[in-house]
Structure 1
């Protein structure tokens, strides 16, 4: 990346600008790709690890270029202010501990509609000691968004802010309060159990969700099963978090009975099929293969299968993105939707072959 015909002490180091530009663009692209893959249900850990290797290589390029990266990072964020570009800008600001640029990144993040994913991602990528001075300032801020950043930083690094968390789980801002409740559960802050329970009465679903989730982590899932079921069956953005919390809360006998009720109606059947995969019981595979033959639950059946058999990801011939491969009923049901479906006959054969190999 650097070119110089003499020692660096004799003349300024020249930067290969096009190479720096490419590093900046690739950092933004790769992190956005990583974030999208991480949101898959279930995520593919192998693919994410491969992206991380490429991302770190390009971050090294930015490290070497140092402050010479700013024209490219600024320009790309101005031209395309999305999560990947915010990650690249914020990561470099934190890397250089540039207070002015960090403040600018915070301002950019406050304007996003996705809880500043790129900025939180940049905070996650740095070690706690490096971002500590900023986080300590943010978490006690009068500004709700910067408090949210402070709590989010503690979440991604599993850091306990101590007595401050007792105040944050009662924060007037719903986003801050939800994040603080999540952190309380993650850290097993049993001392905050009463405050967590009181949040179940809050008007914001996110607050109720993370209060419910935290109570499960604190061993009090019996207090919140009704709320979690309500959130899960609403099929909103928090459905899968609620479903996993329900499965963890148990008991599995009750969860199975509840899922059986969900199977009786078309709108809730996919949730039940997806939930089966979360139970971790491979004895349901014969039943699950039959669900792969039913268009309205086929996507959920494929996802549940992948959770139970993550090694099947390597067998690309088990899946299709063309519903017509499964017949006209599938083509009609999905129309132009882009979906991944399991091919039940091939899955059945693969399972038989795998069982033979193991024996």
Structure 2
């Protein structure tokens, strides 16, 4: 499991260490570095995918699918005292490694300054079980493409574009969920069956995912509902929430213990109740051995995790909140835990306090 990420002169961070837990929440105001944390990990992954890291050659900062840092200068911290940029990660089994480059010139392939031992490349970030889901996932589609090539990782697609193909694969192989806590006692542990269960929990009661085939290159993905069980609804007719949450649930249900999932805004297009239930599912997955790094703006998702901790469904020592803001001197963030009773170790100014701020305004005398 990844336990620490240190960023030196990387984008918003002059020199910052971000401790990583089984469930790590990145939250805070826009433009303060939440996405940069995930981008740093993706830069390492895309460089590995091109064979650059393991051959001690280059750091690739531009990729058409994963992440694009635009240019070496854009990657460099605005207050940098040199052109040195480094990303250091620590794993609880292997130890730590640092990838250092000089952010200069115009090339988006930057030579590594030092060598890194190859045993580092067995960790979860570089595994075939690694999965990443962007904030900008695909919306409803009339049909979905079949995947005709093997993906090294993230078989659902970074935007959920291959979600139907991955569901079909799981259904055909009678694939079982491996994360114990997300299974439901007395119910099937098949991925296909639990997918409908969690869609019902998070979105709409008694929803069911139904697959079909239009032709050899397309997959139909439809839904049925309790009040009209014989009628199938195309995703185009039921809104964005179903299409946006489906890849997140599927990514969890198809993950293995010890693997890593990066997910941006899993709460997107969800009703507040659905957001809290998503938080509950993330907590169960983390307790089952999946490491999850989440970027979120949802207090409802946070509260779902807090309730799960109070209910003893996730250990309080397995989660950490990193709040990114300008409020603190010499750092972009403040980190704090969720206590065993679900309360927060601290509640800094600006941290999900807008409800109270607006209520105060409403209660003021005219």
Higher RCO (CA 8 Å, separation ≥ 6 residues) = 2
Q: Which has the higher helix share?
A: 1
TM, length-normalised to structure 1 = 0.30
Q: Which has the higher strand share?
A: 2
TM, length-normalised to structure 2 = 0.29
Q: State the structure with more CA Rg.
A: 1
